Amino acid sequence: MKTLDKIDVEFYQKNGYILPQRQLFSPARFAELKAIFEEHLTNKGSKRSDELDVPHFTDPRLLNFLLSDEALDMVEPILGPNIGLWSSHFISKDPYSGRPTPWHEDSAYWEGRVSFYSKIVTIWLALDPATRENGCMRVIPGTHDNGFSAYEDLANPTAYTFGTQIKNVDESKAVYFELKPGEFSMHDARLIHGAEANTSPNRRCGYTMRYFSTEIKVYPEKNPGFKIWLARGKDLAGNFYENA
């Protein structure tokens, strides 16, 4: 599969995201991953559909995708050859009731947990069609130079996937990530992004696959019970990894 070229990487570095507009996995591999998600959704119990975080901690089948060449070949041009698996998350917005995701930076929720934030990238893989009507992700380009904006509490936090939001975001600059099933986007952990509510009759699910350069130190005392994997290359910061 074609990976990112120099022009792609330059666009990513300038804007904090890229939309390759192609499939990440083969049709058979994608069907297998989507079937695993449907199992997790069926067995989620009292969790909301958007709360299926780090499913690979308990389902090693997902490591076949998270540690795959298909994913890592896309990440390496951005992070370099030494790559750790940070996290993954099935984020499903139910028809008509899928909650909005407020404007945020992923890095703000990880503050203090790692040594720096400039080399963490997320692949957002569409398992369903992602459209403006069903709450596709949207980003504010070029806002990845900080990662710790000013936040405010939301008046009705349970109506959102998070209870806080970034103050004074200029939504007129938003770029919407409309994707077909199997297509993906990539974004910097510090980029301001979010998603509107699903007001359509169609479910919107994505699988986030997050990676970091092993130059980053993950502080064990700040990440109790958390698991990371050495995905490719070698460790550079003295981290402890799970066995794949």
Query: pLDDT per residue over 138-149, tens digit each?
Result: 999 999 987 789
What CA–CA distances, in Å, run from 163 to 54, 68, 111, 157?
20, 34, 16, 4
Across the chain, mean pLDDT equals 95
Q: What average pLDDT does this structure show over 183-187?
A: 98
* pLDDT more than 70, % of the chain: 99
Q: How high is the pLDDT of residue 244?
A: 57
- Answer whether 211's CB lies under 8 Å from 70's CB: no
Q: How high is the pLDDT of residue 45?
A: 82
Place of tokens 């409309």: 178
- Name residue 180's amino acid: K
- Name residue 217's amino acid: K
> Which range, of 4-18, 34-48, 203-217, 218-232, averages the lowest pLDDT?
34-48
Q: How high is the pLDDT of residue 192?
A: 97
Domains and CATH numbers, the chain: 6-232 (2.60.120.620)
Per residue in 89-140, pLDDT tens?
A: 999 999 998 899 999 999 998 999 999 999 999 999 999 999 999 999 999 9
Taking 70 as the threshold, does the pLDDT of residue 162 lie above it? Answer: yes
Q: Helix or strand or coil: residue 212?
A: strand
Q: How high is the pLDDT of residue 157?
A: 82
Q: What average pLDDT does this structure show over 22-34?
A: 98
Nearest Cα to 106, choosing from 210, 213, 15? Answer: 210
What CA–CA distances, in Å, run from 2 to 93, 104, 115?
30, 31, 32
